[in-house]
Amino acid sequence: MDLSTTYLGFTLPHPLISGASPLADEVDGAARLEEAGAAMIVLRSMFEEQIAPARASSRFPSMDGFRFSPDSYLDHLARVKGAVGVPVAASMNGTTAGRWVNYARLVEQAGADALELNLFLVPTDPDENALDVERRLLSVVTAVRERVKLPLAVKLSPFHTSLPSFARQLASAGADGAVLFNRFYEPDIDIRNRQVVRALTLSSSTELLPRLHALATVSGRTPLALAVTGGVHAGLDALKAVMCGADAVQMVSALLRNGPEHLGRVRAQIEQVLEAGGWDTLAQIKGSTSLSRWPDPKDDERINYMHILQSWRA
What's the confidence (pLDDT) of residue 54? 66
The pTM of the full predicted model, rounded to 2 decimals, is 0.94
Q: Are strands 41-47 and 5-7 parallel, antiparallel or unpaired?
A: unpaired
- For residue 227, give the H/E element and its range: strand 225-229
For 153-185, what is the HEC assignment? EEEECCCCCCHHHHHHHHHHHCCCEEEECCCCC
**Over the stretch 248-275, which tens digit does the pLDDT of each residue have?**
999 999 999 999 999 999 999 999 999 9
Spatial separation of the C-alpha atoms in residues 234 and 205, rounded to whole Å: 8
| pLDDT in the model for residue 57 | 55
Instruction: List pLDDT tens digits, range 208-221.
Output: 999 999 999 999 99
Phi, psi (5° rounding) for residue 227? -125, 150
Tell me: the pLDDT tens digits for 10-56? 999 999 999 999 999 999 999 999 999 999 999 999 999 999 876 54
In whole angstroms, give the CA distance from residue 17 to residue 33: 9
Q: How far is CA 200 from the centre of its chain?
A: 17
CATH superfamily of 5-309: Aldolase class I (3.20.20.70)
Please tell me the predicted confidence (pLDDT) of residue 200. 87
Instruction: Return d(Cα 256, Cα 245) in angstroms, integer.
Output: 26
The pLDDT value given to residue 55 = 59
Q: Classify 107 as helix, strand or coil.
A: helix
Instruction: Give dist(CA 134, CA 164) in Å, integer.
Output: 13
Domains of the chain, by residue range, sit at 5-309
- Rounded to whole angstroms, the Cα distance separating 179 from 215 reads 9
Closest residue by Cα to residue 265 from 301, 299, 238, 246: 238
- Residue 155's φ and ψ, nearest 5 degrees, are -90, 120
Q: Is residue 88 within a helix (H) or strand (E), and if so which, with residue range?
A: strand 88-93
